[in-house]
Amino acid sequence: MVKWPNGWTRPDNLGNSVLSSDPNEHFREWLESNVGKQGWDWDWRVGPTSSPDEVWIKFRKPHADAAMLFQLTYS
């Protein structure tokens, strides 16, 4: 679980700065580079206990070490 992004500045494909609060814009590149394919190695998880300011990401068991690193990096 990590906090929902709140408009961090990130570079677009032209190197310009843009604001985005989409979790895909902030987390997906790291997850695909370090964990693997979405839907197979990891996936977003939305449940009845999720609050609006949290993003839950489910990691497959072989990637438990990456889950800990992700939590430490983005918390």
**So where are the chain's domains?**
2-74
Q: Is the dihedral of CA 51, 2, 26, 46 positive or negative?
A: negative
Judge contact between 43 and 58, C-beta under 8 A.
Answer: yes
Q: What global pTM score does this model have?
A: 0.72
Q: Tell me what pLDDT residue 48 has.
A: 63
CB atoms closer than 10 angstroms to residue 57: 20
Using CB atoms within 10 Å of the CB of residue 34, give its burial: 0 to 12 exposed, 13 to 18 middle, 19+ buried.
middle
pLDDT tens-digit readout, 8-67: 666 667 777 777 777 887 888 889 999 999 999 999 876 666 677 788 888 999 998 998
Calpha distance 64→22 (Å, rounded): 24
